[in-house]
Chain A
Amino acid sequence: MIEVKNVTKIYKVGDSEVHALDGVSLKIRDGEMVAIMGPSGSGKSTLMAILGCLDTPTSGDYLIDAKDTSKMNEDQLAHLRAHKVGFVFQQFNLLPRTSALENVMLPLTYDGTKVKERVERAKKALELVGLAERMNHHPNQLSGGQQQRVAIARALVNEPTILLADEPTGNLDSKNGDEIMAIFQQLHREEHQTVVYVTHDMFIARHTERIIFLMDGKIVRDEKVKNPIQAGTQRPDETLSNGNHNGNHETEEVLQ
């Protein structure tokens, strides 16, 4: 379980301060699948970075499995990133000129896993995302969707407590985006993997059971989705797929 308590994040831009997060509190239970939505500048990526221990809050507490991260030093945070959190980026962030298998093995490099076991676990993670046959390909020999699946395999290889994804489908077409959603839902259903992702696409967001709306660094709504969309469902034409910033009437139907 992860818990965020009254977290703020303030960036200094020149002389002025930008409050990217302004007193955010939330809890995500183990096995939950959650989407975070909001317009650009709402602080959703900042929140993701803090959840992934890639950044630290200006004030407030962030607890993973009841352990407070705000009191941890750099090495302890590195340990958390290695074992508790798997992070998927919008830009994939794979090492270039390095095979898919080696990319997936990367997190295991730093936690003392034996080489043989690393290869096995990386292969298993690649199988999970359906890329076992392309493990020796380099990123530039893979499509965008395949690259993102490699990135997901990399995030999963350490069996993290929580899988975080920042706009995982943002750089992909709808077909590839759908494949990513299928993987997330399968992980959620079969492995009880906690999955949290950011999106600004309502259709993508509704693949989860819960949507958190952010606006100006504050949580403005936290809603359950009544009937999550199953991956593979045709995207309805009328569904707002982009820039769904004023999705009020759209979410009415999912409110409990």
Chain B
Amino acid sequence: MNVINNVRVALRALRANMLRSSLTVLGIVIGVAAVVALLSIGRGATSNITEQVESMGTNLITISQGRSFRPGMGGLSRSASLLYKDYEAILEKVEGINGISPYYSSQTQVSTTSRTTSYNVIGSLPSYLEVNNLEIEVGRFITDTDNLERSRVVVIGQDVSDDLFEGLNPLGRSIKINNVSFEVIGVLASKGTSGMGSADSSVIIPIRTGYTRVFGSMAVYNGNYTLSGITISAESQDVIDTVMNKVDLVLRSQHKLGLNDDLGFTISSQEQMLSSLSDISNTMSAYLGAIAGISLLVGGIGIMNITLVSVTERTREIGLRKAVGAPQKAILFQFLVETMTLSVLGGVLGVILGSLIATIFTYLDLITAKVTFDVILLSFTSSALIGLFFGIYPAYQASKLKPIEALRYE
């Protein structure tokens, strides 16, 4: 069997049926492009999230005011409050801590003479900057003196600065938080993240100033100042577990809880957060993969439809080719080359289109999509297999017929 000759026959047949060939290629292109684009975007999103979490520092431990679930007591109920005293106790008793930062945060009205917006106002200590891996863009951060003197000074995030001052230099200007005047002393460097709880949209004041002038009675529980949370950076990765256990013990003794009692606070490490985030992003990848799989299937069904619609004409063609002396293997080879050509062409175009879509997503700053080789390989192989199966199978059936049966096929 002359291979080049058969390839030529197949290419000629493809050219003779331009519309059918293009539609088949289109089906493959759509399937492959969808898989490449969706999986790349999924991969990009996953690594985006991971990078964001890692940028916050890897040795972080967070203690937050949690709600506990106490069986037999009627479901959810508020547990004991995390107190400023707890912070002092941890600071005194727990070793292996690099930095510790207590904070109280509340969504509060912030206004300039011209605008009023609600921001997440955080009362904290100078350690907040380092523990949270933040940097000052201009001006300075709050100091211990500011805190002791309950100064009305504020450090704002980049987005807040943009929103309130619209490009004007905010340093030295005055803003009102809960109708109390504050002087802007610094602006945080942008972290490039957005949304609730992001440093870019936070407003930071000394915690004592906050307790006395801004947060009011909401921040007091049984005569003690309360906290929203405490952030600790451990000395190293190795001591994280020890520190967490120690913090747990200190909190239990502070709140007079036994070892088996429900603590009511959540103590978690960055690592735990990362692993739960990677669970989430894996779920997301699987979900996107499923959608991509469906698009590939739809593309495959498109190919099958076109093949089946043309099967009458093609069966007659096969009958004719056999009638003029084509052996069965020559016919199979012709269809193999035809479908391979279409699959490869569609696969290549699909990979290009999919990568283009992913690039556009990246370019528009929606998500940094990552086109990886395994994604390309996966989509390419599956499209080739689908194309091959749907292209070859009807041809194989037809090539087994006697020429006269194939010619009379209707």
Partners in one complex: yes
A216 to B320, CA, bound (A): 28
Residues of A within 8 A of B12 (CB): 98, 102
Contact with A along B11-53 (1 / 0, CB 8 A): 0100011000000000000000000000000000000000000
- Closest Cβ–Cβ distance, residue A125 to chain B (whole Å): 13
A56 to B322, CA, bound (A): 14
Which one of A26-34, A64-72, A106-114 is at the B interface?
Answer: A106-114
Within 8 A of B (CB), among A68-82: 74-75, 78-82
Residues of A within 8 A of B405 (CB): 55
* A81 lies within 8 A of B323 (CB): yes
A54 to B404, CA, bound (A): 5
Say yes or no: A78-B16 contact (C-beta < 8 A), given A55-B402, A93-B320, A95-B317: no
Say yes or no: A78-B322 contact (C-beta < 8 A), given A97-B17, A112-B2: yes
Q: Which residue of A lies closest to B326 (CB)?
A: A110
Q: Is A14 an interface residue (CB 8 A)?
A: no
Say yes or no: A110-B402 contact (C-beta < 8 A), given A79-B325, A83-B325, A95-B16: no
A187 to B135, CA, bound (A): 98
* B323 lies within 8 A of A109 (CB): no
Residues of A within 8 A of B316 (CB): 93
Residues of B within 8 A of A87 (CB): 323-324
Residues of B within 8 A of A89 (CB): 407
Within 8 A of A (CB), among B313-335: 313, 316-317, 319-328, 330
Q: Which residue of A lies closest to B317 (CB)?
A: A95
Q: Which residue of A lies closest to B18 (CB)?
A: A97
Residues of B within 8 A of A80 (CB): 325
* A74 lies within 8 A of B324 (CB): no
* A107 lies within 8 A of B407 (CB): no
Q: Is B94 an interface residue (CB 8 A)?
A: no
A95 to B314, CA, bound (A): 10
Q: Is A236 an interface residue (CB 8 A)?
A: no
Q: Is B143 an interface residue (CB 8 A)?
A: no
Residues of A within 8 A of B328 (CB): 74-75, 78
Q: Is A8 an interface residue (CB 8 A)?
A: no
Q: Is A49 an interface residue (CB 8 A)?
A: yes
Residues of B within 8 A of A154 (CB): 324
Contact of A109 among B5, B319, B322, B403 (CB under 8 A): B5
* A55 lies within 8 A of B326 (CB): no
* B322 lies within 8 A of A106 (CB): no
Residues of B within 8 A of A75 (CB): 327-328
A80 to B17, CA, bound (A): 29
Q: Is B9 an interface residue (CB 8 A)?
A: yes
A81 to B326, CA, bound (A): 8
Residues of B within 8 A of A49 (CB): 404
Residues of B within 8 A of A78 (CB): 322, 325-328
Residues of A within 8 A of B402 (CB): 54-56
- Closest Cβ–Cβ distance, residue A53 to chain B (whole Å): 8
Contact of A55 among B16, B17, B324, B404 (CB under 8 A): B404
A91 to B368, CA, bound (A): 60
- Closest Cβ–Cβ distance, residue B398 to chain A (whole Å): 14
- Closest Cβ–Cβ distance, residue B298 to chain A (whole Å): 28
- Closest Cβ–Cβ distance, residue B13 to chain A (whole Å): 8
Say yes or no: A81-B16 contact (C-beta < 8 A), given A54-B407, A56-B402: no
A248 to B316, CA, bound (A): 38
Residues of B within 8 A of A112 (CB): 2, 5
Contact of A52 among B17, B320, B323 (CB under 8 A): B323
* A110 lies within 8 A of B320 (CB): no
- Closest Cβ–Cβ distance, residue B175 to chain A (whole Å): 76
Residues of A within 8 A of B17 (CB): 97
Find the residue from A53, A54, A87 having the highest chain B CB count within 10 A. Answer: A54
- Pick the 7 closest A-B CB pairs, nearest first: A82-B325, A107-B324, A54-B404, A78-B327, A54-B403, A97-B16, A49-B404
20 contacts between A and B (CB under 8 A): A54-B322, A55-B403, A78-B322, A78-B327, A81-B325, A82-B325, A93-B316, A93-B319, A93-B320, A95-B317, A96-B16, A97-B16, A98-B12, A102-B12, A107-B324, A107-B325, A109-B5, A109-B9, A109-B326, A111-B325
With A95-B317, A107-B325, A112-B5 already in contact, 7 other A-B pairs whose C-beta atoms are closer than 8 Å: A55-B405, A75-B327, A78-B322, A78-B325, A81-B325, A102-B12, A107-B324
